[in-house]
Structure 1
Amino acid sequence: MATDVCIRLGRRIRALRQRRGWTQTYLAVHTGLGRAFISDLENGKKEPCLRSLEILAAGFEISLSQLFARL
């Protein structure tokens, strides 16, 4: 069962991706993470580890604190 934080984080990741005009496939290639994993994150189905969060933040060229802003 997805936690509220996972759901909000997934929405944040989706918003950051869409704001840049990126597809899930592009983000996957850009970060080296799997497209299915990104989809699961965006839908609040996965709880990411710290390393995955660091990779996503670097891919978006933001800090971890910016990734969690307004959750």
Structure 2
Amino acid sequence: MDEQAHAERKKVKKTQPSIDGQDKLTRKPKSHKRNNVSTAIGKKLRAVRLESKLSQENLAFNAQFDRAFISDIERGVANPSIMALATLCYALNITLADLFATINLSLKPGDETRRKNPAKTDSSITEKKKMGQRQVPKIR
């Protein structure tokens, strides 16, 4: 294949949308689902970072995270673990209590943003478990 045809193929690959709804270059979903809690945490972290006069790069370096992860958290796209938040709080010289002090939100159990565990709700699985259990004789 000559260089011109190869360049054309690369151009087509970059512009073609993916079948599975993901960007082919980054493999990230095109539409990020945000929830109120992640957005509120991100806004608070951004406010504290700006108050500390740190850039995303400096905060990422101090916390040993990638700058893109800091950006995703601040936009409410990422769902950081409590350990990641504790590390960011340490890098910002605040506590987790300071971070959550002004956030007065919660998610109700029926909210679609929560992950559902089908194993706990599927009655056929519990029946299969019951059938698969051995009967252990009682020792007197």
Unpaired segments ≥5 residues, structure 2: 1-32, 104-140
Alignment of 1:30-69 (within 5 A): 30-69=62-101
Deviations 1:5-62 (A, max 9, x none): 1001000010000011110000000110110000000000001001101101111111
Provide the C-alpha distance between the structure 2 equivalents of 1:19 and 1:63, rounded to a whole number of angstroms. Answer: 15
Higher helix share: 1
Q: Specify which structure has the bigger relative contact order, considering alpha-carbon pairs within 8 angstroms and separated by 6 or more residues.
A: 1
Distance 2:77 2:36 in 1: 11
2:56 maps to which residue?
24
Using the alignment, how far apart are the partners of 2:89 and 2:78 within structure 1?
17
Give the whole-Å Cα distance in 2 for the aligned partners of 1:54 and 1:20.
17
Following TM superposition, the consecutive aligned residue runs of length 4 or more in structure 1 with deviations greater than 3 angstroms are: none
**TM-score normalised by L of structure 1:** 0.95
Q: What fraction of aligned residue pairs are identical, expressed as a percent?
A: 34
Q: Normalising by the residue count of structure 2, what TM-score does the alignment of the two structures yield? A: 0.49
Q: How many residues align?
A: 71
Q: 1:2: which partner in 2?
A: 34
Q: Structure 1, unaligned stretches of length 5 or more?
A: none
